[in-house]
Chains A and B, each alone.
Chain A
Amino acid sequence: MSTITLYSVAYGLASLLLGALGSILPGAARAAVTNVDVVTGLGVLIFAAILLAASMLNTIVLIWWERKLLGRFMDRRGAMHVGYAGLLQNFADGFKLFRKDTVKPREADALGFFTGPAAYMVTSMIIFGVLPISTGWNSGALPLSLLLALAIFSFAPLFIFVSAWSSNNKYSLMGGMRSAAQMIAYEVPLLLAVVAVVIVSGSFSLTTIVYEQQNYWYWGPLFVALIVFVAAMLAEMERIPFDLPEAEAELVEGWNTEYGGMLFAFFMLADYLRALVGSILVVLLFLGGWTMPSWVPSAATSFPLAGIFWFMLKTYLVFGVFVWIRASLPRVRTDQLLRVGWNRMIPLSLLAVFLAAVLVTVKCVWPFGCVPSMGV
Chain B
Amino acid sequence: MATPEANEEKPGENSILWVARPMATAARQFTKSLFRPSTIVYPYERLEDPKFRDRLEVASGKPFGVGEVWDNYRGVHALNIATCISCNLCAFSCPDICIDMVTVAGGDPKHPKKCPQIDYGKCSYCGFCSDACPEGCLTMTTRYELSTPKRSEMVYSPEKLYQVFRSKLPMNPIRLARPANEDAILLDPPLCIGCNACARDCPTNCITMLDVPKPEAKPGEKLPRRIWKEPVVNDSDCVRCGTCISVCPKECLFWGTRK
Contact = CB atoms under 8 A, between A and B. Distances in A.
Interface stretch (B18-26, B63-71, B153-161, B168-176): B18-26
A299 interface: no
B16 A75 contact: no
Interface in A49-76: 71-76
Interface in B97-144: none
A325 B38 CA distance: 22
A71 B41 CA distance: 13
A329 B38 contact: no
B29 interface: yes
A227 B18 CA distance: 12
A188 interface: no
Interface of A: 71-77, 80, 227, 324-325, 327-329, 336, 339-340, 344, 348
Interface in B17-65: 18-19, 22-23, 25-27, 29-30, 32-34, 37-39, 41, 60
Contacts of B26: 73, 324, 327-328
A329 B23 contact: yes
A41 to B, nearest CB: 49
Given A76-B38, A80-B41, 6 more contacts: A73-B33, A77-B37, A227-B16, A324-B23, A324-B26, A329-B23
A325 B37 contact: no
Contacts of A227: 16
Contacts of B22: 328-329
Contacts of B5: none
Given A227-B16, A339-B9, A344-B15, A71 B37 contact: yes
Question: Interface of chain A, helix or strand or loop or mixed?
Answer: helix
A75 B9 contact: no
A75 B23 contact: no
A336 B9 contact: yes
Contact of A340 (B15, B34, B37): B15
A75 B37 contact: yes
Contacts of A329: 18-19, 22-23
Contacts of B27: 324, 328
A332 to B, nearest CB: 9
A82 to B, nearest CB: 13
Contacts, number: 50
Q: Which 9 A-B pairs have the closest CB atoms?
A: A328-B26, A328-B22, A75-B33, A76-B39, A328-B23, A75-B38, A327-B26, A344-B15, A73-B30
B60 A75 contact: yes
Given A227-B16, A340-B15, A328 B25 contact: yes
A74 B16 CA distance: 24
A96 to B, nearest CB: 20
A336 B41 CA distance: 41
Contacts of A328: 19, 22-23, 25-27
Contacts of B33: 72-76
Contacts of B37: 71-72, 75-77
Contacts of B23: 324-325, 328-329
Given A327-B26, A329-B22, A77 B41 contact: yes
B74 to A, nearest CB: 27
Given A328-B25, A336-B9, A75 B32 contact: yes
Nearest to B13: A344
A324 B34 CA distance: 13
25 contacts: A71-B37, A72-B30, A72-B34, A73-B30, A73-B33, A75-B29, A75-B33, A75-B38, A75-B60, A76-B33, A76-B38, A76-B39, A77-B39, A80-B41, A324-B26, A324-B30, A328-B19, A328-B23, A328-B25, A328-B27, A329-B18, A329-B19, A329-B22, A344-B15, A348-B16
